[in-house]
């Protein structure tokens, strides 16, 4: 017994309604993911060794974009930021990908699953806040902030027997709305110290900070919170 035209029309209409509902769900999910990526949490991967041992090359991390807008940043926070100019070497031209691959990559970036723009960002630890007087180093090889020494050995990646927080000296006062950022792998990090000859003086404007890294999500054996070691800075007084 064959279906009547009315039955076939009804089934076709039902399929179209189902397809419409699926597309609406996909669009809503994509928009929600985009909003989350743009204003709440964003994913990045680590392209260099400058933050070892805290973060390793190819680690994938989540960055909190929302909370710092209310609480501001603190000394010790690990932050992701856009290059203020001159920090990153020029990237070589890569061959154009097929249109389909570009489209898929755009969608994945749009919803926050992919993180291909990680190469355009950097990750470092906040050492100096606006107004701080940051000096390297005292007789023990420690950085001082507003005259108070900080002991960073719990998180620095230094060669065996080396306890100096930096082999490069500096004496800076952090300008308003800027921060002084250093990598934990001090001997292999081109951080604020390496960019003092730039117009920015090596400081990074607050507006360039994307957010605070709070969780390592990949690989699975390294999944866990990212330590700000804020107790290291407990004895630092406010700037004069």
Catalytic entry in 48, 58, 82, 124: 124
Rounded CA-CA distance 163/9 in Å is 78
Token output for 176: 């308003």
Nearest to 183 by CA among 163, 207, 155, 212: 155
Structure tokens at 7: 């039955």
Structural element, H or E, at residue 96:
none
Q: Which of 37, 43, 50, 189 is catalytic?
A: 50
212 is catalytic: no
Cβ(193)–Cβ(204) under 8 Å? Answer: no
Do residues 61 and 213 touch, judged by C-beta distance below 8 A? yes
DSSP 19-45: HHHHHHHHHHHHHHHHHHHHHTEEEEE
Secondary structure of residue 155 in the 3-state scheme: coil
Q: What is the DSSP letter of 97?
A: P
Cα–Cα dist 143/166, whole Å: 8
CA angle, residues 75, 77, 79, in degrees to nearest 5: 125
Three-class SS state of 169: coil
Clarify whether 50 is annotated catalytic. Answer: yes
Active site residues: 50, 124
């Amino acid at each position: 017994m064959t279906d009547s035209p009315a039955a076939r029309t009804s089934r076709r209409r039902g399929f179209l309604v189902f397809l419409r509902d699926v597309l609406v769900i996909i669009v809503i999910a994509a928009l929600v993911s985009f909003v989350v990526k743009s204003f709440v949490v964003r994913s990045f991967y680590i392209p260099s060794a400058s933050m070892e041992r805290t973060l390793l090359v190819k680690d994938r991390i989540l960055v909190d974009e929302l909370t710092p807008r209310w609480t501001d940043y603190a000394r010790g926070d690990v932050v992701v930021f856009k290059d203020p100019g001159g920090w990153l070497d020029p990237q070589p031209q890569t061959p154009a990908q097929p249109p389909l691959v570009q489209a898929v990559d755009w969608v994945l970036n749009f919803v926050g699953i992919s993180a291909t723009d990680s190469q355009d960002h950097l990750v470092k630890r906040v050492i100096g806040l606006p107004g701080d007087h940051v000096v390297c180093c005292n007789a023990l090889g420690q950085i001082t902030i507003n005259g108070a020494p900080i002991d960073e050995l719990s998180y620095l990646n230094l060669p065996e027997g080396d306890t100096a927080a930096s082999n490069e000296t500096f004496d800076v006062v952090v300008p308003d709305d800027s921060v002084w950022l250093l990598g934990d792998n001090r001997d292999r990090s081109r951080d604020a110290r390496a960019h003092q000859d730039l117009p920015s003086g090596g400081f990074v404007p607050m507006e360039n900070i994307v957010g605070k890294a709070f969780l390592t999500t990949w690989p699975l054996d390294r999944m866990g919170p990212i330590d700000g070691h804020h107790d290291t800075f407990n004895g630092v007084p406010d700037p004069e």
